[in-house]
Structures are given as C-alpha cells and as structure tokens.
Copies of this chain bind each other. A is one copy, B any other.
Amino acid sequence: MTTPKTIPYKIYLTEDQMPKAWLNLKAVMPEKPDPMLHPCTLAPITLPELTPLFCEELCKQELNDTDLHIAIPEAIRNFYKMYRPSPVVRAYSLEERLGTPAQIYYKFEGSNTSGSHKLNSAAAQVYYAKQQGIENLTTETGAGQWGTALSMACAYYGIHLDVFMVKVSAAQKPYRKAVMQTFGATVTPSPSNTTEVGRRLLAAAPDTGGSLGCAISEAIERAMTTPNARYELGSVLDHVLLHQSVIGLEAKAALDLYGVTPDIVIGCAGGGSNFGGLISAYMADRLQGKNNIEFLAVEPASCPSLTRGRYAYDFGDSGQTTPLLRMYTLGSGFTPSPNHAGGLRYHGMSPVVSKLYHDGFIKAKSYDQEKVFEAAEEFARCEGLLPAPESSHAIRAALDEARRCKETGEAKKILFGLSGTGYFDMAAYSSYNDGTMSDALPTDADLARGFATLPQIPQNA
C-alpha cells in the first residue's frame, strides 16, 4: 500500500501494470458450484462432451476449478492493449452534486466500440478459435453489445460470424445490426425460419419478440450443422467470467495505487459476466478472509432471476438443448415483457454468481426501469457520460447508497461497474424522455409459468 495521494479523476494503469493472468474465482470458493450436467445422462459433463460445441481451450477453462490464475496469452494481452486498460473514475461531480460524504468510483468499460465489457471475452474466445483453426463462429445477442464485440474480434482475426439477435432488441436498436455488419458479421433476427428450433418456436408463438434463450438455441443449432464451426456465449459460463476478471483485477490494481479499498462493490447482473468480472479480485480476497467488502448485484424487476428465481438445474436456452446449469433461474421458458428496454433479459444467472449468492457472499436487489432511467439521466447530466440502461441499474443502486450515506454521514467508498454506454439505446431514452416508458413486471402467475419449464430432475426437488 502506497502513501495516500490526491486521487485523480481517472486512474489508468500503465501497460506494465495490466493483468498478465485471469483470476478463476472457483479455485478459492469454499464450496464449488454444482457441476454442469449432461442433459440426457444427468452426469457431470466431460471435456469430450463439451468440445463439439465450444473451442477446446475454452472447455478446459470452463471445467477448471483448481487454478486461481490462468495466464493471458500475449496475443490477447496485445488485443487488450488496443482498448484497455479501462479507467477507474472518481465521480467527483456526482459526489458534489449529491452532497454526499461517500466517495464514488466507477470502473468504466464502455470506451471501446462494442460499447461494453463484452469485448474482454470476445477477444479471448476468437483468439482460441483461431488457434484451433475454426473458420465459422455463431452466437446470440440481446442488446447487441456481445454481438458487436464478437463481430469486432472476428473481423480482427478473419473468422466468419453468424449472429442471432433477439427480435425485440433488433427492433429497439436498429443500428446495432449495421455496426455488426460493418464488422463483417451476418445478423439474423431471432426467432428465425433459418433453424429448426426457430421454426418450432415461431410456430408456437408467431408474434414472440424472442429471448436470449431462444437465440442461443438457434446459434447452437447453426454451429452444430455448419462445418468447422463452434458456438460462443457472451455471459453466464465460467470461462466467460474468467475472461471478465480483467475488469476486477484492473479495478483493484488501480485503487490499490491510491490505497483505496471499497466498502461496497455494485454491479448490474444479467447473465452475470459483468458482475462476476467486476467482483473477481475483491471477492477472491474476501473468500480468503482478507476483506469484508459488501457485494451487491442489481437486476431489472422485469427479469428478476436472483431476487425472485429458483436455485435449480436448468437449461441455458429456450430450446432446451444445452447442458444443465445449477443457477438462479426463472425457467428457460420465461420471457420478460417486450416493454422492458433495460437489457439484462436472460432467464438465468452465472452458476458462480448464483452459488456465491446462495452462500451469502452476495446481496441482490431489483429496480423497475423508470427508476433506472431516472438515475441514468441524473448521472449523464452530471458526469457527462451517457450510460447503458444495463449499467444504469448499478448507477441507481450507487446513487441510493450515496444518498443514504448523506443521511447517515458515512464516508463510504462505493465502487460500481459502468459496464457500457447507451449510444444505441436512444429509442429507450426517448420513450423515457417523452413519458411513454412503462415496465411490465412479472406476476406470480408469469413466474409460475416460467418455473413450469424447469427440467423435472431430482436436484430441483
């Protein structure tokens, strides 16, 4: 720990200070997450069963729960240097505006063209695909950040990419498609009639706005039926959280330079990759008894997997084709209201985040979207940065915490993750500005319908 210095507005690490290894949280968890199961045998899945779907190195990372540090190949570190390190920003203007004694810091992941943290895993996944000689990749995207990130990495490495984009998001964010196409990707709104699972889902619900779970099914089918192809997932899985640990490692390294340890770390959580990455370094220390930091996951009230879901084995996709993951889930058949414009629409939650939440290391809360956009606008006008609706869930919680500190007089140190920018979310901002935004929170009956789609296996009893 160095002598405290005046803390600048933005802390940038030098290239030398950037992480050289990812952090694998599973290695230090007192209890490991339950294993991924084969959907037919219900036995823990093996490496050979996983490699037809994902690149081999990613499968090894997925199943690795012993190595705390996994080296980042030099080529990936060089890719990271094109857009990283991302800064830790001290929100001085916001603190002043709120009149809070709290210190507010945010780790900003949105200054690359994908507009979010997603590029951290895309860069790694496409690198490993290239190393393995894969020529075609497929994926799904919701809000579009992941599809854009993977398009960028695929353009860089010269690999063809098929993106299935959730239909309602494609309609809400028309220009996201154009960005992916500019990077050379083929983009198909999902559900589509280009896959069997898509045709089946369309037949059952012709007017559906789609869901991430459904787009995943289509992308997997495309990968399995295309020569020399693999599927890539942008969140949820352990290897994605591994890559995203670069967020938390950089955040801690930056704050350590100024002797700052946060009292609370706040992140938005959809599939969990941003949140899991953000908390990685501090959580590893917490699990080893080195700090007592509070971790808060924030999710939309319209897709409340942690706060209203069940901790159960479930499929990762609506088509019910993936391995089973034990996670907080609303059921793979759950689809949030198409009115919900705040992203974070996935029915489940990273098994690592889910297990930590289940074991009491993480707290969770949810907000409806008007409260989220209200916070987004307040933040934007003060800090001069238009946040993604997803990230604005964390902003809302951070603002509430800072206001609470104003009442209590606590000089808490708050770190939140600003995972991305909202430049492609202006349709949603417009509806907020003109007062036509509404949210449609799931009723208990909606949730019951989702839970009814959980697989009927003993673990769910």
Binding site for B on A (CB under 8 A): 8-10, 12, 14-15, 78-79, 81-83, 92-93, 111-113, 115, 119, 152, 155-156, 174-175, 178-179, 181-184, 377, 380-386, 421, 423-424, 426-427, 429-430, 433
Q: Which residues of B contact A384 (CB under 8 A)?
A: 79, 82-83, 112-113, 119, 152, 156
**Distance A433 CA – B183 CA, assembled complex (angstroms):** 10
Closest residue of chain B to A381, judged by CB? B155
The smallest C-beta distance from A14 to any residue of chain B, in angstroms, reads 7
**Distance A81 CA – B356 CA, assembled complex (angstroms):** 37
- Decide if A178 touches B8 in the complex (CB within 8 Å): no
Q: Which residues of B contact A112 (CB under 8 A)?
A: 384-385
- Decide if A430 touches B155 in the complex (CB within 8 Å): no
**Knowing that A93-B156, A155-B380, A184-B381 are A-B contacts, what are 5 other residue pairs whose CB atoms are under 8 Å apart, sorted by A's residue number?**
A115-B423, A175-B427, A178-B426, A179-B426, A182-B426
The smallest C-beta distance from A185 to any residue of chain B, in angstroms, reads 11
Q: Which residues of B contact A430 (CB under 8 A)?
A: 175, 178, 181
The smallest C-beta distance from A8 to any residue of chain B, in angstroms, reads 5
A-B contact pairs, 17 of them (CB 8 A): A9-B82, A78-B92, A79-B384, A82-B383, A82-B384, A112-B385, A113-B421, A152-B381, A155-B382, A175-B430, A178-B426, A178-B429, A178-B430, A181-B430, A182-B433, A183-B381, A423-B424
Instruction: Please pick, from B10, B182, B381, B426, the residue contacting A386 in the complex, using a CB distance under 8 A.
Output: B182
- Decide if B81 touches A8 in the complex (CB within 8 Å): yes
**Distance A195 CA – B78 CA, assembled complex (angstroms):** 54
Closest residue of chain B to A373, judged by CB? B182
Closest residue of chain B to A421, judged by CB? B113
**Distance A115 CA – B93 CA, assembled complex (angstroms):** 20
Helix, strand, loop or mixed for chain A's interface? Answer: helix
- Decide if B12 touches A385 in the complex (CB within 8 Å): no
The smallest C-beta distance from A227 to any residue of chain B, in angstroms, reads 24
- Decide if B433 touches A178 in the complex (CB within 8 Å): yes
- Decide if A81 touches B386 in the complex (CB within 8 Å): no
Q: Provided the pairs A93-B82, A113-B380, A381-B155 are in contact, do residues A429 and B386 lie with their beta carbons within 8 angstroms? A: no
Closest residue of chain B to A13, judged by CB? B12
Closest residue of chain B to A423, judged by CB? B423
The smallest C-beta distance from A7 to any residue of chain B, in angstroms, reads 10
**Distance A357 CA – B8 CA, assembled complex (angstroms):** 40
Q: Provided the pairs A178-B430, A184-B381 are in contact, do residues A10 and B113 lie with their beta carbons within 8 angstroms? A: no
- Decide if B377 touches A182 in the complex (CB within 8 Å): yes
The smallest C-beta distance from A325 to any residue of chain B, in angstroms, reads 31
**Distance A119 CA – B384 CA, assembled complex (angstroms):** 10
- Decide if A381 touches B156 in the complex (CB within 8 Å): yes
Q: Which residues of B contact A115 (CB under 8 A)?
A: 423
- Decide if B12 touches A8 in the complex (CB within 8 Å): no
Q: Which residues of B contact A385 (CB under 8 A)?
A: 82-83, 112-113
Instruction: Please pick, from B93, B175, B386, the residue contacting A113 in the complex, using a CB distance under 8 A.
Output: B386
Closest residue of chain B to A85, judged by CB? B10
**Distance A382 CA – B433 CA, assembled complex (angstroms):** 37
Q: Which residues of B contact A429 (CB under 8 A)?
A: 178-179, 182
**Distance A421 CA – B12 CA, assembled complex (angstroms):** 21
Candidate in A12, A113, A430 with the most chain B CB atoms within 10 angstroms = A113
The smallest C-beta distance from A402 to any residue of chain B, in angstroms, reads 18
Instruction: Please pick, from B111, B155, B178, B426, the residue contacting A111 in the complex, using a CB distance under 8 A.
Output: B111
The smallest C-beta distance from A113 to any residue of chain B, in angstroms, reads 5
**Distance A380 CA – B83 CA, assembled complex (angstroms):** 13
Q: Provided the pairs A178-B433, A429-B182 are in contact, do residues A156 and B8 lie with their beta carbons within 8 angstroms? A: no
Closest residue of chain B to A91, judged by CB? B82
Q: Which residues of B contact A386 (CB under 8 A)?
A: 113, 179, 182
Closest residue of chain B to A382, judged by CB? B156
Chain A to chain B: the 3 pairs with minimum beta-carbon distance, closest first:
A175-B426, A155-B381, A9-B81
**Distance A182 CA – B81 CA, assembled complex (angstroms):** 32
Candidate in A14, A174, A380, A424 with the most chain B CB atoms within 10 angstroms = A380
Closest residue of chain B to A97, judged by CB? B156
**Distance A152 CA – B380 CA, assembled complex (angstroms):** 8
**Distance A253 CA – B155 CA, assembled complex (angstroms):** 33
